[in-house]
Structure 1
Amino acid sequence: MKRGFLDIGLMSEPIDMRKYNFVNMPVKEQWGVFVPSDSGLSKKERITPKDLAGMSIVTATGDFNQSRIGKWLGDYKDQVEIAATANLPYNEAVLAKENIGVMLSINLNCIYENLRFIPLQPLLEVSTVLGWKKEQIFSATTSAFIDFSMQYLKGITHD
């Protein structure tokens, strides 16, 4: 087995329990769109599937039609265009600022200049976990981090 540090990270559910050990994060992540401040959408308090009809979207979602987002869009999923996919929110934000498309993402409590986060309606939330590969051999530091994280996260209540 290989030694590794990069095989631990935050993942959204569902998790393949055959491949990963994990500990649940205590909060759910909320989906929404980041839109330019001068966009017509920026005045809305919530974004519905109908609001995105005819829009270009920048997202990290790879398999859009089978994803939670595709299901959330329902009958409107064929009326949106995937302008770009990326795996780094900062890159997605740059594309949204350049009006390539609205950034469809979870709210990571990041502030992007001239972009406004607007939550989806109906509400779409996802659970996240701190996960790592099963049978992975880790350095002592990484193992200590996993042990600490497990104890800390399990000790947090939802109060």
Structure 2
Amino acid sequence: MELRTLKYFLAVAREQNMTEAANVLHVTQPTLSRQMADLERELGCTLFVRTNRATMLTADGMRLRQRAEEILQLVQQTEDEMGTKREVAGVVRIGAGETQAMRVLTDAFAELRRNHPRVTCQLYTGNADAVEERLERGLVDFALMIEPVNVEKYDHLELPARDTVGVVVGTHSPWGMLDAVTPQTLVQMPLLVSSRTTHQTFDLATWSNGLVKPGQLNVVGTFDLIGNAALLAEAGTACVLGIDHLPELQTSRLRFLPLEPALTTGSVVAWKRHRIFSPACEAFLEQLRATLEQ
């Protein structure tokens, strides 16, 4: 399977039309059709559903699209790294959860860019499960994850910032007049909780001295990123268990209620042990350490 074929395949997937894709690629339509037919024979599966008006991906086609994008991204990164011997350049790929601790990484990258303007970044936002999966697959270089996380198999740095755990509620909801959330109140709330499954989100049993037991919460749904979940909180439909100081929560229509007694959580930056970094990633890690020392 050639890289050129993968590029052709992605063009067809993007344009959803063989003729339009051929125009974008500056090849003839019969040539492109033949290439895609050869690819299907090589893989032994059907990649497209062809109609008179469109060329749509099958389930196998969608899986190949994801893999092809990853392969070409890694190829491009390798070419960038190998072609920049004299000057620090290249891309730093960061996966991160939603936390104010991200400011430490952005400050470090901003300083790095001032000294090495040819360094760029790719940012991916997700919960700890999603970010760690991308780290394992080599799709990010660094993972910023909200604790608790298992970092035994990674090299990592613990960040000094700690996030306050609490519940986001609509200002005009029945909970909007509270100042804090006790264990007794928490079990009465209709909650949206993080979709994390690999790692437990917060140890509420220990926090509540056993008053909040597993399965006792009134969980009405889950969320990955808090933005859309906050809309349900605004409407008064649910309350969102999460952390404070996120941009999506800075609105008069929402209130953040800290847990009582207070509960905080930390964050770590992790990367694969024994990984050979690109010059850009080495420079970023060095700058990150310097930023933390300051």
1:107 corresponds, among 233, 236, 244, to 244
Higher relative contact order structure (alpha carbons within 8 Å, sequence separation ≥ 6): 1
TM-score by length of 1: 0.80
Contact 1:31–1:119 (CA under 8 A) maintained in structure 2: yes
Q: Distance in 1 between matches of 2:206 and 2:222?
A: 18
Contact 1:28–1:126 (CA under 8 A) maintained in structure 2: yes
TM-score by length of 2: 0.46
Q: Which moved more, 1:13-22 or 1:98-107?
A: 13-22
CA RMSD of aligned residues (A): 2.6
Q: Distance in 2 between matches of 1:148 and 1:26?
A: 16
Aligned to 1:91: 228
In the alignment of these two chains, the number of paired residues is 154
- Counterparts in 2 of 1:66 and 1:118: CA distance versus 1, 3 Å: closer
Aligned to 1:45: 179
Q: Distance in 2 between matches of 1:142 and 1:66?
A: 29
Q: Could you tell me how far 1:91 is from its partner in structure 2? A: 2.5
- Quick check: which has more Rg, 1 or 2? 2
- Counterparts in 2 of 1:136 and 1:127: CA distance versus 1, 3 Å: same
List structure 1 runs of 4+ shifted beyond 6 angstroms: none
Q: Could you tell me how far 1:48 is from its partner in structure 2? A: 0.5
1:69 corresponds, among 192, 196, 204, to 204
Structure (1/2) with the larger strand percentage = 1
Aligned to 2:163: 29
Contact 2:153–2:273 (CA under 8 A) maintained in structure 1: yes
Paired letter, 2:211: D
Paired letter, 1:13: E
Q: Counterpart of 1:82 in 2: which secondary structure?
A: strand
Q: Distance in 1 between matches of 2:189 and 2:284?
A: 42
Q: Counterpart of 1:90 in 2: which secondary structure?
A: helix
Q: Counterpart of 1:75 in 2: which secondary structure?
A: coil
- Counterparts in 2 of 1:19 and 1:94: CA distance versus 1, 3 Å: farther
Q: Counterpart of 1:26 in 2: which secondary structure?
A: coil
Q: Distance in 1 between matches of 2:257 and 2:232?
A: 17
Q: How does 1:119-134 map to 2 (within 5 A)?
A: 119-134=258-273
Which structure 1 residue ranges, 5 or more long, are not aligned? none
Q: Which moved more, 1:71-80 or 1:138-147?
A: 71-80
